[in-house]
Structures are given as C-alpha cells and as structure tokens.
C-alpha cells in the first residue's frame, strides 16, 4: 500500500509541476500583455472614438483572460500538490512545489503592495519551504556601492513607516 501511495504521489507531483510550468508561462505572458495595454493606453485619449479605443480594449480583455487562466493554473497546481501530500504526508517534491508557488504569489503581493496577501503567502512559504527560502525570508541582504570619486563618504539612513509616513530612525556613516 505504501508503494502504491508513493507512486500516486509522484504522479500528482508530476501533474503539479506541469501545471506550475504553465502557470509560470502565463505569468510572463500576463506581464507582457499588461505592458502592451499600458503602452496602447498612453496613445489613446478618453474622448476618442470607439475605433481608436478598440485595440486598448482588446489588449485589456486579453490580459484579463490570461489573469483568469493564471488563477486556474495556480489552483490546479496547488490541488495536485496537496493531493500528493494526502497520499504521502511529507513528500518533499510536493512541499517544494507548494513553497515555490507560494513564493511566487508572495513576490507578486509585495510588488502590488497587498500587505494582507503578503502575510498570507509568507505563512504558506514558511509552512512548506523546508529551508529553501530561508535567506529570502530573513530579509537580510548586502549592497555594494561604488562612488565617483572613489572613497566618498556615504551616509545611510533607515526609515520605518509610522502613522502612514516614513520616518528616519537610524543614520550612520558607512565604513
């Protein structure tokens, strides 16, 4: 029974990965479509005739259809990975697939400024990542700055949001 359940889990993970690949392709297409719609929008005035607006509307409709396809692919992929975990509780590839999808959604939520979604997807990444996104979740990073002229003094300022405003909290001279 254990081998059968493992084989079923493997099949579901393969399905989840296939659909996750389609999801990633759709996301790339969606970004291109949004950029195209924005470009067209910049050349069309609100008072212009329907014929001039038709390409914009078509681009917006195409992006909307792709957005719906993205969500369908996301849910199908997530479902396959969860079904794999139902067959084999700690299936590493299923957990990794869920972590990757959640990470992708987390990045999108951050880019769009959707704080509640960011917290939700961060929690999902924490649930499934098994160390895979440890560095990214810590939020630490490094920066290299080259100055012209070399050796210029650099002042770093840390800002935190307080009362819907960013306030300076720490300032220091970089070494």
> Does the pLDDT of residue 170 top 80, yes or no?
no
pLDDT in tens, 92-138: 999 999 999 999 999 999 999 999 999 999 999 999 999 999 989 98
pLDDT in tens, 31-88: 999 999 999 999 999 899 999 999 999 999 999 999 999 999 999 999 999 999 999 9
Q: Record the pTM.
A: 0.80
Sequential DSSP letters for 81-110: HHHHHHHSTT-HHHHHHHHHHHHHHHHHHH
Tell me, letter by letter, the H, E, C secondary structure of 14-81.
Answer: HHHHHHHHHHHHHHHHHHHHHHHHHHHHHCCCCCCCHHHHHHHHHHHHHHHHHHHHHHHHHHHHHHHH
pLDDT band of residue 159 (cuts 50, 70, 90) is confident
> Does the pLDDT of residue 89 top 80, yes or no?
yes
- Contact in structure between 93 and 13 (CB atoms under 8 Å): yes
């Amino acid at each position: 029974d254990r081998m059968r359940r493992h084989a079923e889990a493997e099949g579901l993970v393969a399905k989840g990965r296939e659909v996750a690949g389609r999801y990633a392709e759709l996301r790339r297409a969606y970004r291109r479509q949004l950029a195209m719609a924005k470009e067209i929008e910049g050349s069309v005035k609100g008072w212009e005739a329907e014929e001039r607006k038709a390409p914009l509307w078509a681009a917006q409709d195409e992006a909307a259809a792709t957005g719906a396809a993205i969500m369908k692919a996301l849910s199908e992929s997530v479902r396959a990975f969860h079904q794999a975990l139902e067959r084999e509780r700690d299936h590493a590839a299923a957990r990794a697939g869920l972590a990757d999808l959640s990470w992708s959604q987390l990045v999108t939520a951050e880019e769009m400024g959707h704080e509640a979604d960011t917290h939700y997807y961060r929690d999902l990444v924490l649930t499934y990542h098994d160390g895979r996104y440890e560095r990214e979740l810590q939020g630490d990073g490094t920066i290299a700055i080259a100055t012209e002229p070399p050796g210029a003094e650099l002042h770093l300022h840390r800002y935190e949001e307080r009362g819907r405003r960013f306030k300076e909290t720490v300032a220091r001279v970089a070494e």
